[in-house]
Homo-oligomer: A and B are copies of this chain.
């Protein structure tokens, strides 16, 4: 059994707890939190204070870090990788090379293994971008996201004066996807690929027209997109937009293998629960992490460095027989 510790108990931590139960070869040692453990209600796992983590060193094979990429993981992953094998879902794309470099040094110095930026993007989408362009070098890869909630864009809405609460959906342009699939060569702008749909709850007395104008013209977040804004009640927001966290998307590559032949590589995810799927990916890569540590292949890895067989509970012989 691979003994896993969950570090941090938000949506992702809860998802990891559920995902471990779906496997036969991993088990939960405990949930470790910076909060008072008595205030954290887990589904079934034991909750400990972060201060107790180091005492349990010999009971833990892999720590799955379930904090956020903005402030938690840049500190936690290097810190914990000094002692433990770790898996994180660091997803600030532009900072991955720096994060990798810090963790790789730490892991090599301390004889640990860390797999960073696990999930679906970065993660499975990265893997598919790599396979697609390696096999079809003469082509173009386009990634589409959604339909799904963008946490960053929802936060940007909530920071506007007069907005009480908000959810933002990123929606892929299916017409563009269909045109790419029949082989059209398109020069795509940001606006062509996705639209943005906002559901906002206003504070009493807020100026609706001014707020909508502010949203659709907001630089970086909305001005480069076709954005629609729907004003709804808090009740509607809770009921229709906060119960599930759906997401997904598509990596599409159209490549020419010769002048007359084009080949379409299409990988898609449609997720009822973004955090539960990401968590399931984290648990699969915790399996790879434990194996690499057992093989003493210390250092940092990304999903691109890990062979598919490493994340499967099946033996090589079974994989060849059943899946190949």
Q: Which residues of A contact B (CB under 8 A)?
A: 15, 18-19, 22-23, 93, 96-97, 100, 117, 122, 124, 126-131, 133-138, 181, 244, 248, 255, 257-258, 260-273, 276-277, 279-281, 284, 287, 302-309, 311-313, 316-317, 319-321, 323-324
Contact = CB atoms under 8 A, between A and B. Distances in A.
A266 B263 contact: no
A180 to B, nearest CB: 12
A122 B304 CA distance: 21
A319 B130 CA distance: 8
B276 A269 contact: no
8 contacts: A18-B258, A130-B312, A134-B313, A137-B313, A263-B276, A263-B277, A264-B270, A304-B323
Contact of A97 (B130, B313, B321): B321
Given A126-B323, A303-B308, 7 more contacts: A133-B323, A134-B287, A257-B276, A258-B276, A263-B280, A267-B268, A304-B308
Contacts of A138: 22
Contacts of A262: 272
Contact of A257 (B279, B302, B303): B279
Contact of A307 (B126, B264, B307): B307
Copies of this protein in the complex: 2
A288 to B, nearest CB: 9
A277 B257 contact: yes
Contacts of A273: 257-258, 261, 263
A284 B134 contact: yes
A119 B61 CA distance: 36
Contacts of A136: 280
Contact of A305 (B135, B258, B316): B316
B320 A304 contact: yes
A128 B265 CA distance: 12
B19 A257 contact: yes
Contacts of A308: 127, 130-131, 134, 303-304
